[in-house]
Amino acid sequence: MKKWEWDFAWQILPQLLRGLVVTFEATVLGSLLAFALGLVLALLRRSRIPVVSQVVWLFIEFVRSTPLLVQLYFIFFIFPITFGITLGSLTVGVLGLGVHYATYTSEVYRAGIEAVPRGQWEAATALSLPRSRVWTSVILPQAIPRVLPALGNYLISMFKETPLLLSIGVLELVGQAQNAGSEAYRFVEPYTLAGLLFLLLSYPSSVLVRRLERRVRQR
Amino acid sequence: MSDSDEMDGATMGSAEPHSDEMIRFDKVVKRFGSNVVLRELDFTVKPGEHVTLIGPSGSGKTTILRLLMTLERIDEGKIYVGDACLSHQRRGDKLVPANEKHLRSVRRRIGMVFQQFNLFPNMKVLRNLTEAPIHALGTPREEAERRARELLEMVGLTEKADAHPNELSGGQQQRVAIARALAMQPDVLLLDEVTSALDPELVAGVLNVLRDIASGTDITMLFVTHEMGFARDISDRVLMFDKGQIVEEGPPEKLLTDPDQPRTREFLRAVIERR
């Protein structure tokens, strides 16, 4: 038995690419949720109503301190029993990834918001700008460009963590590799290819993020 | 919303333009922790008056401007702007410390120019001037832009309307900041060491703009500055502060050249020697 069969590798490639599409779906939808929800959490953390900011703080700490895998199992197996909510496995995956990473991105946004000089708030106050307008036209447009590299890094981390969704039956890239391997009882090609595909996508992305970092710092 | 809030809002808009006081500090106390910055401070400013506050750093001058701009809250006493109380609002027949909504309604009459300019770096110059009129006053965009261009012309920066603030010199940025404050058509303009962060050769341009405003409008102006020559030209009255109280006040010719108080004399000597 040869160590590496090119024919087999070619043969399973389409199957792996189908898995890659699912990986993409999970990453894109998960990160959209993480970026949006993270901002909401960051803003709620600053709420002047103490209960709101404390509850949000508790939620963030809780989610950050428990493993993503446990959270996925919880949504997948316990939600249907306790709350009667049954969701598809990809939906659960997106939800789990999105909420988990939202707690990280909320910290990123918080740092970005705090980096906006106090003088900007004071100038906005002196001009009587309505509070919501201060956020949308003064603070966030300055805070968000600064945190784009950090958000990009979380996007890449999330991409590399999507194989966790395998545990709740999402047939993403590694899941497809596992299937292909079990059918032919050859695992070298599928897992090597899966790893290469991850590398091929995440390395250039991290180069892009680093370039973005440099541009943000120059401004 | 309670009735009394609406009443406050109504009186605010119709404050008499010729009432004889634009600003009144009534036994105002401000502390930062255990540090007392203002001690039962009393003073008034007439409409259209140009008043300069001088004194050593830490004497409370800047705090006075920040209290008026509602960037800080007072601990005791009251502040009035026109015939409205800035620091307190009526609830039933009692005066209680102002809430955010009350502050919002009173602060519209006041504008401020900061030492560090504080222009919005994410907006072009023109939008720095139109943002607040459009979104705080509800001015139609076209009118706000027309007025913004007039103000830019007044500060000599017509051609910079589409520049970003970081493309301008410090002096130009400060002139934009002055125009931005004027775009809100304030009754009172507060100027907090507006030339202190500038290179010396850029100071004159900013001071000339302020002279134009002082002579060409009836805006009440409060200056905190160390530019004594400018203070003498522009002020109707100078207040000398030390340790959170007024040491001496008078017309600039008198106070800046022949003060009565030794503390004032000492301070002026120190300012001159530093140059």
Cross-strand pairs, B91: B94
Residues 6+ apart with CB under 8 A from B74: B28, B29, B30, B38, B67, B87
**Chain A contact present for B136, CB below 8 A:** yes
| Whole-Å CA distances, B196 to A18, A36, B61, B199 | 64, 42, 14, 8
**Chain A contact present for B71, CB below 8 A:** yes
Contact B22, B188 (CB under 8 A): yes
- In chain A, which stretches have pLDDT less than 70? 1, 219
Write out A138-171 in H/E/C secondary structure: HHHHHHHHHHHHHHHHHHHHHHHHHHHHHHHCCC
Contact B31, B75 (CB under 8 A): yes
Residue B19: the pLDDT is 63
Cross-strand pairs, B250: B238
ipTM: 0.89
Reported confidence tier of residue B92, pLDDT bands at 50, 70, 90 = confident
Residue carrying structure tokens 């020559």: B229
**CB atoms closer than 10 angstroms to residue B35:** 9
Residue carrying structure tokens 């700490």: A61
Residue carrying structure tokens 């609830």: B91
pLDDT digits (tens, 9 = 90+) for B234-261: 999 999 999 999 999 999 999 999 999 9
Q: Is the C-alpha dihedral spanning B201, B204, B207, B213 positive or negative?
A: negative
Residue A86: the pLDDT is 86
Residue A65: the pLDDT is 95
Q: Mutation target for A interface from B72, B119, B120, B182: give the one with most A CBs within 10 A.
A: B120
Tell whether the model's pLDDT for residue B10 goes beyond 60: no
**CB atoms closer than 10 angstroms to residue B261:** 13
The string of DSSP codes covering B184-222 is T--SEEEEESTTTTS-HHHHHHHHHHHHHHHHH---EEE
Rounded CA-CA distance B147/B217 in Å is 15
- Name the pairing type of β-strands B237-242 and B50-54: parallel
Rounded CA-CA distance B39/B49 in Å is 24
Strands (E), chain A: none
Contact A210, A216 (CB under 8 A): no
Could you tell me which residue, B77 or B17, shows the higher pLDDT?
B77
Residue B184: the pLDDT is 96
Residue A219: the pLDDT is 65
Asked if A127 and B181 come within 8 Å (Cβ–Cβ), the reply is: yes
Tell whether the model's pLDDT for residue B3 goes beyond 80: no
Contact B89, B98 (CB under 8 A): yes
Under DSSP, is residue B81 helix (H, G, I), strand (E, B) or coil? Answer: strand
pLDDT digits (tens, 9 = 90+) for B128-180: 999 999 999 999 999 999 999 999 999 999 999 999 999 999 999 999 999 99
**Chain A contact present for B254, CB below 8 A:** no
Rounded CA-CA distance B90/B99 in Å is 11
Strands (E), chain B: 23-32, 35-45, 50-54, 76-81, 84-85, 88-91, 94-97, 110-113, 188-192, 220-224, 237-242, 245-250
**Chain B contact present for A130, CB below 8 A:** yes
| Whole-Å CA distances, A116 to B71, B112, B153, B260 | 17, 20, 30, 46
Provide, as residue numbers in chain A, all residues whose Cβ is less than 8 Å from the Cβ of B119: 123
Asked if A129 and B135 come within 8 Å (Cβ–Cβ), the reply is: yes
Rounded CA-CA distance B275/B270 in Å is 9
Residue B6: the pLDDT is 41
- Name the pairing type of β-strands B220-224 and B84-85: unpaired
Reported confidence tier of residue B4, pLDDT bands at 50, 70, 90 = very low
Asked if B136 and A125 come within 8 Å (Cβ–Cβ), the reply is: no
| Whole-Å CA distances, A120 to B12, B103, B174 | 26, 18, 14
Q: In the numeric block, which tokens belong to residue A29?
A: 């939808």
Asked if B121 and A125 come within 8 Å (Cβ–Cβ), the reply is: no
Rounded CA-CA distance A168/A152 in Å is 26
**Helices A173-184, A6-45: inter-axial angle, 10-degree rounding:** 150
Rounded CA-CA distance A97/A99 in Å is 6
| Whole-Å CA distances, A56 to A31, A43, A62, A118, B162 | 20, 10, 10, 24, 41
Cross-strand pairs, B237: B51
Residue B100: the pLDDT is 84
Contact A97, A105 (CB under 8 A): no
Within A46-67, where are the H helices?
50-64
Q: In the numeric block, which tokens belong to residue A185?
A: 């009882």
**Chain B contact present for A119, CB below 8 A:** yes
Our CA-based measurement puts residue B60 at a distance from the nearest CA of chain A, in whole angstroms, of: 18
